[in-house]
Structure formats: structure tokens, C-alpha cells
Amino acid sequence: MIESDWYVITLRPNQSTRAERNLADQGVTCYVPRIGKSAKARTGRRELFPGYGFIRTSDAGRLSAVSSTPGVSRLLRFNDRPALISDDWVSAIKGQVARMEDEHAGLCHLLNQTVLIRVGAFQGIDSLVTDVDDARGMVRVLYHMLGSPQEAWVELRLIEERRR
């Protein structure tokens, strides 16, 4: 193995944190890309590639123990060779995750804020932001129409913050 390459692993359902902890205990570097959670999500951050992670170790002998690590399903292989991904790719993923986190932080301030829908069929309606989807650049808004509450996803560019 080249020191700068990463191996791809598959993770057992809902056990990525367990896998990371157990791999770290074995001296194996593990990276599971996660992005900011939805405001309504009950769990923490969600995995960017659900069920997959990346590992790096300077001791190729440790690879045989990876598949038996609690939380890990197996070391991904193609034609009996471990799947490798370059350090450049993992660095690019980390950079993209950081950019997504910055965008999410920028949208989170809108949660529970009153906004005005600027264009379209709902133009001029005051709405309450109940959720944000940073990946799509959209917010879910709650508004009242004909005396009953309604929810809809709206592009960020179509709303304007109400200053109180």
C-alpha cells in the first residue's frame, strides 16, 4: 500500500461510529464523511456515502483484521484486490464536506425565522422556516392558506428574511 492511499470499507447499518472507534483502537485511520443534519432529523449528522467509509494504515498486515472489526462489514474488493482511493480524492471529499458545512451554517440561522416569499403563487405570504436542506439550497416553510397550515419546500433565492 502507498501511505497516501485509502482503502474503501463497507459498514454495518447504523454502526459507523462503532466502526470508527474500533478501528482507531487498532491504530487504523478511519474517515466516514458526514454532513449537517436536517433540522428535523432525530439523529446526528448523516453520512455522505451511507454504508461506506475510508481507512488508511501504515501496516498492511492490519487489513486482514478490518473485516472482523465490530461495525465493519468488509473491506471492499474488486477482482480480489482491495478497492483503493487516492489521498487526493479523500482530500477533495473533505473539502466538499467543509464547504457544505459552511453553507449549512449559513442556512441554519433561518430556522424558526419568519420569511417573506417574494415571487410565485405564494408571493407576499409570511412563512415560518421549519427545516433547511443545504444540499439543495432550499427551506421548508410553514404558511397558512385558507385557514389551515401548509408546508412547502421553497428555493432560498425566492424568500427574504423579515427583520423584527
96 — pLDDT class (breaks 50, 70, 90)? confident
- Helix and strand tally (H, E) in the chain? 3, 14
Q: Where a domain ends, among 105, 129, 145?
A: 105
40 burial level (CB within 10 Å; 0-12, 13-18, 19+): exposed
3 — pLDDT class (breaks 50, 70, 90)? low
Range of the domain at 39: 6-105
Q: What is the C-alpha to C-alpha distance for residues 109 and 30, in angstroms, rounded to an integer? A: 31
Phi first, then psi, for residue 81 (nearest 5°) are -115, 135
Task: Report the percentage of the chain scoring pLDDT > 70.
Answer: 87
Q: What is the C-alpha to C-alpha distance for residues 133 and 16, in angstroms, rounded to an integer? A: 23
Q: What is the C-alpha to C-alpha distance for residues 87 and 70, in angstroms, rounded to an integer? A: 25
Inter-CA distances, 71 with 45, 46, 80, 84, 162, Å: 18, 16, 22, 20, 46
- Name the β-bridge partners of 29: 56
The answer, yes or no, to whether residue 2 has pLDDT greater than 80, is no
pTM over 0.75: no
The answer, yes or no, to whether residue 66 has pLDDT greater than 50, is yes
Task: Report the percentage of the chain scoring pLDDT > 90.
Answer: 43
The answer, yes or no, to whether residue 140 has pLDDT greater than 70, is yes
Q: Where a domain ends, among 62, 78, 105?
A: 105
User: Which range among 14-18, 98-102, 120-124, 138-142 shows the weakest confidence by mean pLDDT?
Assistant: 98-102
By the 8 A CB rule, do 79 and 128 touch? no
User: Which range among 71-75, 88-92, 146-150 shows the weakest confidence by mean pLDDT?
Assistant: 146-150
Domains in the chain, number: 2
The answer, yes or no, to whether residue 37 has pLDDT greater than 70, is no
CA dihedral 160, 113, 97, 42 (to 10 degrees): -150
Same domain, 80 and 145: no
Higher per-residue confidence, 128 vs 38: 128
- Asked, for residue 1, whether it belongs to a domain, the answer is no
Same domain, 134 and 80: no
By the 8 A CB rule, do 49 and 6 touch? no
pLDDT at position 105 is 64
Same domain, 53 and 99: yes
